[in-house]
Amino acid sequence: MIAELMGLAVGLTFVRAGLAARAGSWADVRLADRGRYVRILKINRDLFLRTLSLMFVLAFITAQGARMGSVILAANAVLMNFQVLMSYSLDGIAYAAEALTGKAIGERNREGLRLSIQRGLMWSLGFAGLFSIAYLLAGRALIDVLTGLPDVRAAAVRYLPWLIVSPLISVWSFFYDGVYVGATRSHEMMIVMAGSALLLFLPAWYAFTGGLVDLGNHGLWLAFMVFLAGRGLGMPLWWQHLMSNDMILPASRRPDRHD
C-alpha cells in the first residue's frame, strides 16, 4: 500500500510538472470524462479475461500432469521453466512493439506501423530461433541444473523436444500480444486467447489423451502446442483483417486523377 501511494504521489508530481511546462492547470485534466473511464474499464476487463484464459490452460496442464504421477508433474514443472525463460526474453521485444505500435498509430503513420511490426517480428523470430538452438544443444544440461532427481531428469529429457519447437510456435502470439496492446485492441486479443483455450486446447487435449489416441503426456504437450499455434495464427490473421479494412489506420488517400 505504501508503495502504491508513493507511486501515486510521484505520478501526480510529474503531471503537475507537465501542466506547468505547458501553461496548463488541473482544470484542463479531464477527470470527469465518463467515456474514457468506460473505455479503460473495458480494456481492463478484456485483459483480465485474457489472463484468466491463459491461467486456466496452465493450471489445467498442471492438474493433468499430476494425474499422471509425481514424476510427470515434476518433469512438466521443470520444462515449464524453459517456456517461462523464453517468454520473458521475447516479451522484451513485445514491449518495444507496444511502444512503437502506439507511437505509429498516434502519429497516424501507416507505413511506420508496418515497418515497426515487420522489423520487430524479424527480431523476435531471430531470438526464437536462438532459443530453439540453445534448448537443442544445452537442454539436457539445463534440466540437470533445475533438478537432481534421476527419474525427473529422464522424464524431462523425454519431453524436451516439445520445448525445442515451442519458441518457433510461441513467438508469433508473444510478439502480436505487444502489437495488440499498443493498438489497444484488447477485445480481439481476448477473443483469440479464449477461443484458443476453449476451442483448440481442450478438444486437442481430449483427442490426444484418450479421445482418439492416447499419447499420455506427449498428448498434453501437443495440446499446448496447438493452443500456442492457434494464438500465433489467429492474431496475425485478425491483424491483417483489421488493417485491410482500415480499422486500425486509414490507408493513405490516393490522389484523384484531376488533382
What residues does each domain of the chain span?
50-244
Residue 255: predicted pLDDT: 39
With 0-12 / 13-18 / 19 or more C-beta atoms within 10 angstroms meaning exposed / middle / buried, residue 2 is exposed
Residue 185: predicted pLDDT: 93
- Cα–Cα distance list, 238 to 180, 185, 242 (Å): 10, 11, 6
Would you tell me how many other CB atoms lie within 10 Å of the CB of residue 254? 7
Which sign does the torsion angle of CA 39, 45, 49, 55 carry? positive
Residue 22: predicted pLDDT: 66
Residue 38: predicted pLDDT: 86
Residue 36: predicted pLDDT: 74
Residue 30: predicted pLDDT: 63
SS3 214: strand
Torsion angle of alpha carbons 141, 144, 145, 151, nearest 10°? 160
**C-alpha 156, offset from chain centre:** 25
Give the pLDDT confidence of 8-38 residue by residue, as tens digits: 899 888 877 776 766 655 555 566 667 777 8
Residue 35: predicted pLDDT: 76
Question: Do the beta carbons of residue 48 and residue 132 sit within 8 Å?
Answer: no
For the chain, which residues score pLDDT lower than 70? 19, 21-33, 251-259
- Cα–Cα distance list, 142 to 102, 135, 147, 153 (Å): 37, 8, 9, 10
